[in-house]
Structure 1
Amino acid sequence: MKIPTTLTKIMALAKKEARDILQNRIYLLVVLVQVFIIIGAVGLVMVASVASDPTLLDQIGISSALNIGLPQDLEGSSLSQYLEQQKITLNYYPSTEEAKAQLGKKLVAIVDLSSSGEVVAQVDTSNVFYPVVSTKISDAVTKFNTEKTLKSAGLNQTQVNTIQNPVNFQEVKVNQDKQVPLALDSPYFVEMIYGFIVPFILLLPFFLASNIVTDSVVGEKERKTFEVLLMTPLSSYMVIIGKIIPILLFSLIQSVAWIILLDLLRVPIFNPVLMVIVLFFMGLAFIGVGILISMLVDSTKEANSAITLVLVFATFILFIPLFVKSDIFQGIFNFIPTVLMVKLAVSPKIQPEIMIYLLPTLILSFLIFVGTVRSFRHERAIRL
């Protein structure tokens, strides 16, 4: 079967662009850097989740490494028992003053009783586990104060224990065969990973794509080869398509690879096919903006400055809604692509309204791309 001449010309230009991209060591280095960004981001969120969650610390066994200082006269007291229940290590000192010398070194906190019987806690706020330690001490102190109050009312220890533990909670897990193999069972981990890291990682290749487009066009201007390209028997559409095919393809391949990598890191992405479709149209928009900028500037330095400003603005528009909770603007936020990406990624079920919210993004992205193609054709007419 004979391949149409038009398609042959487009593929020839696309192969040339693909070869230039793959020969660019900086581009390959940036791709490798993205892998480290993904692994590092997931790792950092996991560490932050564990460090801020007392339950996770207890499950992993890190709590026992948290050292709390107490004066020796509190050894065996009900306060020390409640602190031990928090699965932290207690260290006893002859006096509080001697314990202070170890605060910020061996000890994360010091707990003592004042002359009036009130609990006094000194916590090293520079320690990464400061929030967890504060929570554990607070829980222990609450039980201690409750016990004091109940005993002063004439209740014995058995009655105190009954009041402090009125219900034995037992969690029964169902549908475990359908359980998602998430890296960490933590609300904070889920919120940070899906609420920011996932959309950011999947859009990274397209941020890079817009930069490559400007370099492709402006670079040819600087090398004085752009005019030669315009003189070839290629229409404006053929030139644009030939240039963007490898850029868009490489970006999509990277995003798919990042989805697979996230799944290997036990951060599953639901609805990957629809996610790739959304990324495809957003890629057209980013590439379209890159082409538009490349037509307005005459040097790579100007192009890099302009695309940086555009990407900063795009980052603000795309990611600020992920951190803002507002009933007033929620109707607008529902149409933001990153918000829709989060909704697609976190649930296997696609809500019908999501498809409606997606339409403006797909249409606007396509219009941006078509508009830049028409502008490019006008730019070609001027140059010729």
Structure 2
Amino acid sequence: MKFESAMLVFWKDWKEIRRNYQVLAPIIFVPLVFTIVLPLILVLVPSVVGMPGTAFQLIGPMFENLPPEVRAAVSGMGAEEAIVYVFALYFFAPFFLIIPIMASSVLASDSFAGEKDRKTLEALLATPLTEGDLLLGKVLVAFIPSIIVTFASFVVYCVVVDLASVLRFGGELLLPNALWVLFIFGVTPLVALAGIGVTVIISLRVKGYREAQQMSAILIAPVLALVFAEVGGAIVFGPLMILLMIGVFALVNALVLVLGIRHFHREELLTRGG
């Protein structure tokens, strides 16, 4: 396996991806919703923040499970400010897992299964590139952009939340903090790799991009489960949860890596090339 050869695959695929608005649209639109639209709705729309009693009933179980120091900080706030604080720093955190999963699975679907749609798979497999070169190059073309989008989204989210805190409540800068830095830089890269790995396995067994993307959408289900579990008070966004997620996704990546390498062979790709 040669990194230079893998980068040839990376640049070839990236030229295809950057011209494909079907691939780029969700990668641009979804982060904008999570980093700008949702926080602004939370802060500015009266129907969301103007009913503190209803909102406190919604976040009651989650509020009870927050660390004591957080509950102490919130107890000194007004109802509206407390809701914004809890949602921005805790409730919205699992949504940031959707960004790397969505971006990496969309890019990986196009990079692997898209070759079948473009009828370029046979020509690619006929090159002297090794299977390791091909696999690494295609993983990189999904991983690097998805991580850049995730990190950029985090920066935008920090700016929006801090502006809301300062301008609306005259409060302090809330983000970034150590918990979110550990979450973004420790968890999201592993989540992106897991999304890529699962999408690779799916792409090897389907006939084209659309089918691969549809099947990869199931990856969002565990993230939605985390959101509902947090709202219900079953889990809380904190150091223990983050370390647990790092361990779980590291194990998932190891398993997916073994399965991906085992099935990524020229003969199988040609047989299933559709």
Q: TM-score normalised to the size of structure 2?
A: 0.72
Pick closer, same or farther for the CA change 1:376–1:320 going to 2, 3 Å.
Answer: farther
Identify, as 1 or 2, the structure richer in strand: 1
**Preserved CA contact (<8 Å) 1:22 1:28:** yes
Correspondence for 2:69: none
1:249 deviates by 0.8
Matched, 1:313 2:221: yes
Indicate the SS of the match to 2:177: coil
2:91 & 2:253 partners in 1: Cα distance?
Answer: 22
1:16 aligned to which of 12, 30, 40: 12
2:259 aligned to which of 359, 363, 371: 371
Correspondence for 1:362: 250
**Preserved CA contact (<8 Å) 1:290 1:307:** yes
1:360 deviates by 2.6
Indicate the SS of the match to 2:191: helix
1:264 deviates by 0.9
Matched, 1:323 2:231: yes
CA radius of gyration, larger in: 1
2:263 & 2:30 partners in 1: Cα distance?
Answer: 33
Moved over 6 A (4+): none
294-303 or 312-321: which moved more? 312-321
Gaps of 5+ in 2: 56-76, 163-173
Gaps of 5+ in 1: 55-130, 133-181, 327-332, 334-338, 345-350
1:316 & 1:261 partners in 2: Cα distance?
Answer: 22
Pick closer, same or farther for the CA change 1:354–1:273 going to 2, 3 Å.
Answer: closer
Matched, 1:52 2:41: no
Work out the number of aligned pairs and report it.
233
1:39 aligned to which of 25, 36, 40: 36
Amino acid across the alignment from 2:230: L
2:27 & 2:220 partners in 1: Cα distance?
Answer: 20
Pick closer, same or farther for the CA change 1:251–1:217 going to 2, 3 Å.
Answer: same
Correspondence for 1:268: 175
Trace 1:233-252 onto structure 2 (pairs within 5 A). Answer: 233-252=128-147
Identify, as 1 or 2, the structure richer in helix: 2
Q: TM-score normalised to the size of structure 1?
A: 0.53
- The one of the two structures with greater contact order (alpha-carbon pairs below 8 A, sep at least 6) is 2
1:49 & 1:383 partners in 2: Cα distance?
Answer: 50
1:301 aligned to which of 179, 187, 210: 210
1:221 aligned to which of 116, 122, 129: 116
Pick closer, same or farther for the CA change 1:235–1:317 going to 2, 3 Å.
Answer: farther
Correspondence for 1:292: 201
2:98 aligned to which of 203, 209, 212: 203
1:15 & 1:259 partners in 2: Cα distance?
Answer: 26
2:151 aligned to which of 253, 256, 259: 256
Pick closer, same or farther for the CA change 1:354–1:199 going to 2, 3 Å.
Answer: closer
Identical aligned residues as a percent: 23
Pick closer, same or farther for the CA change 1:24–1:357 going to 2, 3 Å.
Answer: closer
1:274 deviates by 5.4
1:315 & 1:274 partners in 2: Cα distance?
Answer: 14
1:382 & 1:281 partners in 2: Cα distance?
Answer: 31
Indicate the SS of the match to 1:298: coil
2:131 & 2:101 partners in 1: Cα distance?
Answer: 23
**Preserved CA contact (<8 Å) 1:203 1:279:** no
**Preserved CA contact (<8 Å) 2:109 2:203:** yes
**Preserved CA contact (<8 Å) 1:294 1:303:** yes
1:235 deviates by 2.5
Q: Deviations over 1:259-306 (max 9, x none)?
A: 111111115132325532311111111011111111111133322332
Cα RMSD over matched residues?
A: 3.2
Q: Deviations over 1:70-129 (max 9, x none)?
A: xxxxxxxxxxxxxxxxxxxxxxxxxxxxxxxxxxxxxxxxxxxxxxxxxxxxxxxxxxxx
2:12 & 2:242 partners in 1: Cα distance?
Answer: 39
Trace 1:62-211 onto structure 2 (pairs within 5 A). Answer: 186-211=81-106
**Preserved CA contact (<8 Å) 1:293 1:303:** yes
1:374 & 1:250 partners in 2: Cα distance?
Answer: 26
**Preserved CA contact (<8 Å) 1:281 1:365:** yes
1:356 deviates by 5.6
Indicate the SS of the match to 1:296: coil
Indicate the SS of the match to 1:41: helix
2:24 & 2:242 partners in 1: Cα distance?
Answer: 35
Amino acid across the alignment from 2:36: I
